[in-house]
Chains A and B, each alone.
Chain A
């Protein structure tokens, strides 16, 4: 097994651990962190792929994809964090009505 393959395998394992967390954890913040772990797994796979290029230079395309992916991940995490706060604080003056019961825990 080459180093790159080892990293790619680690990425897949991280992805699986993160997915397990999203499915099994009830707390929203833990779910969000698990999604981030999944994301890191995918990025690790992409970075490992970059080493496959010939000619001694790593392939720049997966790097570009990882950079874009990180930007997306950060924005999504920020949005999710603000939503988590809103869910837990509850908006002032707005008592959860009948709908809240459908939402479940």
Chain B
């Protein structure tokens, strides 16, 4: 096995191994297993990036068994950037959860069976989800993509169900059903593709796929299924409830990583497998839905009374930006620029949204609730968390210097080059709307409060974790050149750029 193959296997195996250990040993091993996994992931990712920079995109058949019966791993610039996102947010959330769940019950805390169950179950579930994410980002064939998606979904459902409330169970169940329906649509698409071409490997499919009727059906089924999992408007019905009622670290993971991972699957299909079958008309439809999501999600977010529901609706809106890239199908030159912008935006959105949910969790822990009305003066209690929330909001609005600004800037440039004015207008309007739902909290936080606070203590680590993630979102605006260079490895968007030449 090549060096890059070994690093890829280690990226998938380390979190899965740590999850199994945390599950079997139980009790207090979880946080330490997660720490070990995080260290292994950071090292493996650094190793993989080093290998890819030297040798370009890499493929590896695990144990010598490649596609279709074995597991085919594939890494290019797109996978690496997604892995980078998962490592950044994952480490931040792990650090936050360390404080959020606590290593053990504090002496002054009454025994609570449900809280203690959540404390133990969080770690293996999160580590399984982390492994699922990495398997998804490194999958080289469409069936393994399905298995990774299911691994991710099942762990995410468990994480949502951690909160010991009927609402949480209901949200988890609804998410699971929506997600299963999405997966089955995807699987039927896989069946059609296999029936047509008898291969599962993404790169082979890229060479073989043509716009036959079965292929178009498969593309429609797979895209529809994944749209449901990504919660693209109008299929977002399950998202706000699930993301708004989970424990804070879980909300952060779902909104920043899980949603983006499902989007990654769509992107991988359109820019590799179906590069020669996707039509500009279908792409335009997806982009229009994305624009509708931006407007609808933002307006809903502005109307929310609860902080976490507000952030959840903001995710509905932000998912819309990711789909704007589809408007550029068939426009070779600006398409690559637009997809770079989209992927960069996904990366910075993950950091910003993670920071926002984590900050909201600290605020909720301190105030005991997240009703916006009752949060006047919280800025004096939790200056670090409110600052992190503000920085993250800045990236969502797309103000410079922030990762969100770079992503929107690339998209804007592509839109102006291609003459797609409505895309440019949507991007700018979305930024204003994001300001509309970020400022109300900041305004209340900085207001004076007449009655004294009965605030509970928030561990310092929680506040710092959200601040670090928010700073990452800002720093992405300052060091844009290196990540964009990484994205170029293996030229993941090349098939789309050459689409015009051989239709």
Which positions in A face B, CB cutoff 8 Å? 8, 12, 15, 18-19, 22, 28, 31-32, 35, 38-39, 41-42, 45-46, 49, 52, 59-62, 64-65, 68-69, 72, 75-76, 79-80, 83-84, 86-87, 90-91, 94, 96-97, 99-100, 102-103
Min CB distance B310 to A, Å, is 13
Contacts of B96 in A (CB 8 A): none
Q: Say yes or no: is B22 at the interface (Cβ < 8 Å to chain A).
A: no
Which positions in B face A, CB cutoff 8 Å? 68-69, 114, 143, 147, 150, 153-154, 157-158, 161, 164-167, 169-173, 176-177, 180-181, 183-184, 187-188, 190-192, 194-195, 198, 200, 241, 245
Q: Does the CB pair A97–B173 fall under 8 Å?
A: no
Contacts of A94 in B (CB 8 A): 114, 164-166
Min CB distance A22 to B, Å, is 6
Bound Cα distance A12, B214 (Å): 13
Q: Does the CB pair B191–A87 fall under 8 Å?
A: no
Q: Which of A22, A31, A41, A60 contacts B69 (CB 8 A)?
A: A60
Q: Which of B165, B176, B194, B241 contacts A79 (CB 8 A)?
A: B176
Min CB distance A56 to B, Å, is 16
Contacts of A62 in B (CB 8 A): 191, 194
Q: Which of A42, A69, A75 contacts B154 (CB 8 A)?
A: A75
Give the total number of A-B pairs whose CB atoms are below 8 A apart: 110
Contacts of B69 in A (CB 8 A): 60-61, 64
Contacts of A90 in B (CB 8 A): 166
Q: Does the CB pair B184–A83 fall under 8 Å?
A: no
Q: Does the CB pair A91–B187 fall under 8 Å?
A: no
Q: Which of A31, A41, A72, A91 contacts B165 (CB 8 A)?
A: A91
Bound Cα distance A94, B194 (Å): 49
Q: Which of A22, A31, A69, A97 contacts B187 (CB 8 A)?
A: A69
Contacts of B173 in A (CB 8 A): 28, 80, 83-84, 87
Q: A-side binding surface: helix, strand, loop or mixed?
A: helix
Bound Cα distance A19, B182 (Å): 11
Min CB distance A63 to B, Å, is 10
Given A80-B177, A99-B165, A100-B170, 5 more A-B residue pairs with CB atoms under 8 Å apart are A18-B184, A45-B188, A79-B176, A83-B172, A90-B166
Q: Does the CB pair A38–B150 fall under 8 Å?
A: no
Given contacts A35-B184, A45-B191, A62-B194, contact A86 B177 (CB under 8 A): no
Q: Does the CB pair A103–B241 fall under 8 Å?
A: yes
Bound Cα distance A8, B245 (Å): 41
Min CB distance B309 to A, Å, is 8
Q: Does the CB pair A86–B161 fall under 8 Å?
A: yes
Contacts of B68 in A (CB 8 A): 61
Bound Cα distance A35, B181 (Å): 7
Contacts of B198 in A (CB 8 A): 59
Q: Does the CB pair B181–A38 fall under 8 Å?
A: yes
Given contacts A94-B165, A97-B165, A100-B167, contact A76 B154 (CB under 8 A): yes
Q: Does the CB pair B195–A65 fall under 8 Å?
A: no
Q: Does the CB pair A79–B158 fall under 8 Å?
A: yes
Contacts of B177 in A (CB 8 A): 22, 28, 31-32, 35, 80
Bound Cα distance A96, B118 (Å): 19
Q: Does the CB pair B171–A103 fall under 8 Å?
A: yes
Bound Cα distance A28, B182 (Å): 17
Bound Cα distance A49, B190 (Å): 12
Q: Does the CB pair A61–B181 fall under 8 Å?
A: no
A-B contacts, 28 of them at CB < 8 A, read A19-B181, A22-B181, A32-B177, A35-B181, A41-B188, A42-B184, A42-B191, A45-B188, A45-B191, A45-B192, A46-B194, A49-B195, A52-B195, A61-B194, A61-B200, A62-B191, A65-B194, A72-B183, A79-B176, A80-B176, A80-B180, A83-B176, A84-B173, A96-B165, A96-B166, A97-B167, A103-B166, A103-B167
Min CB distance A76 to B, Å, is 6
Contacts of A39 in B (CB 8 A): 180, 184
Q: Which of A69, A72, A86 contacts B166 (CB 8 A)?
A: A86
Contacts of A19 in B (CB 8 A): 181
Bound Cα distance A20, B153 (Å): 23
Contacts of B143 in A (CB 8 A): 65, 68
List the B residue with the shortest CB-CB distance to A44: B191
Contacts of A72 in B (CB 8 A): 147, 150, 183
List the A residue with the shortest CB-CB distance to B67: A61
Contacts of A100 in B (CB 8 A): 166-167, 170
Bound Cα distance A80, B160 (Å): 13
Min CB distance A37 to B, Å, is 10
Contacts of A22 in B (CB 8 A): 177, 181
